[in-house]
Amino acid sequence: MPKLLIATSNQGKIKELEALLKKLDVELLTPTQMNLQLTVEEDGKTYQENAAKKALAYSRESGWLTLADDSGLEVDALNGAPGLHSARYAPKANATDADRRRYLLENLKPKPRPWSAHFHATIAIATPQGQVYFAEGNCYGEILPEERGENGFGYDPIFYFPEAQKTMAELSSAEKNRISHRAAAVKNALHVLRPLLSAG
C-alpha cells in the first residue's frame, strides 16, 4: 500500500486528516511514528510558503510523499489577524489554545459585532524529488464572545458556523469534516494526491 507522511505534530490536525484521507488506499505515517523530530521555522509570508517548507523538509528527511497543512483563522475586524500567526497568537510564552482564544476575544471586545471570520487551510504535497503541489480551502462564520462545545481544537469553541447554528466545537468530528476549511482543501488536493500515490 502507498504511504503518505503527515507533516505535523498537532494532534487535532492529525485526527482530522486521518478521517479525511480514509477513503484513499494509503497508509498514513506521522512524524512521531517515524521518530522524526524536525524543527521547521514557520517564517514564510504566506500559507503556501509555510506549508511547502514543512512538506519539503519532512519529505526530504523521510523519503516519503508528504502532506503538510498550514492553516489559520482570519478575523475581518482585526484585518485578518491572527491569520498566519494563529498558532502563536498570544502575548505570553508557552500559551495554550485557551490563552489564544482569550487573547483574541480581548482584542475583539472594543469592535462592533458580528465578528465575521473564516478559517483558511493550504495543503502542500511534496514528493521526495522536490516537487510541490498546493490545494486550498476556506470555511466562513463568525467569532462568538463566549466558548461553546468541547470538540475540535484551537479556535473551534468560539467559531460559529451559521449553517449548522453551532460552533465548530459543538459539531461532531464527522460534521466538522464535511464543512471545514481542511476538508475543502483535502477535497481539492485529491486530484493530485491520487495519481501521485498510484505512481509512487
User: Residue count at the site for ligand IMP (CB under 6 A)?
Assistant: 18
Q: Is 154 in the site for ligand IMP (CB under 6 A)?
A: yes
Give Cβ neighbours of residue 33 (< 8 Å, ≥ 6 apart).
Answer: none
Q: Which residues contact 15 (CB under 8 A, 6 or more apart)?
A: 173
Compare residues 2 and 147 and give the one whose CB is closer to ligand IMP: 147
* Least distance to ligand IMP, CB of residue 119, Å: 5
If the CB atoms of residues 142 and 156 are measured against ligand IMP, the closer one turns out to be 156
Instruction: State the binding string over 30-49 for ligand IMP (x if CB under 6 A, else -).
Output: ------------x-------
Residues that are catalytic? 70
Q: Does 155 bind ligand IMP (CB under 6 A)?
A: yes
- If one counts every other C-beta atom within 10 angstroms of the C-beta of residue 1, the result is 7
Please say which residue, 28 or 87, places its beta carbon nearer to ligand IMP. Answer: 87
- The full DSSP string for 128-186 is TTS-EEEEEEEEEEEE-SS---SSSSTTGGGEEEGGGTEEGGGS-HHHHHHHSHHHHHH
- Strand, helix or coil at 21? coil
Q: By the 8 A CB rule, do 155 and 100 touch?
A: yes
Which grid coordinates are listed for 71?
492553516
83 phi-psi bin (left φ>0, alpha ψ -120 to 50, beta other)? left
Which of 75, 90, 180, 186 is close enough to bind ligand IMP by CB under 6 A?
Answer: 180
Site for ligand IMP in 61-80 (CB under 6 A): 69-73
Which residue, 29 or 101, is less far from ligand IMP as judged by CB?
Answer: 101
Q: In this structure, what C-alpha cell is assigned to residue 154? A: 484551537
Q: Shortest gap between Cβ of 172 and ligand IMP (angstroms)?
A: 14
- Using CB under 6 A as the binding rule, whether residue 153 contacts ligand IMP is answered as yes
What is the closest distance, in whole angstroms, from the C-beta atom of residue 130 to ligand IMP in the complex?
22
- Chain residues binding ligand IMP by CB under 6 A are 10, 42, 69-73, 86-87, 119, 152-156, 168, 180, 182
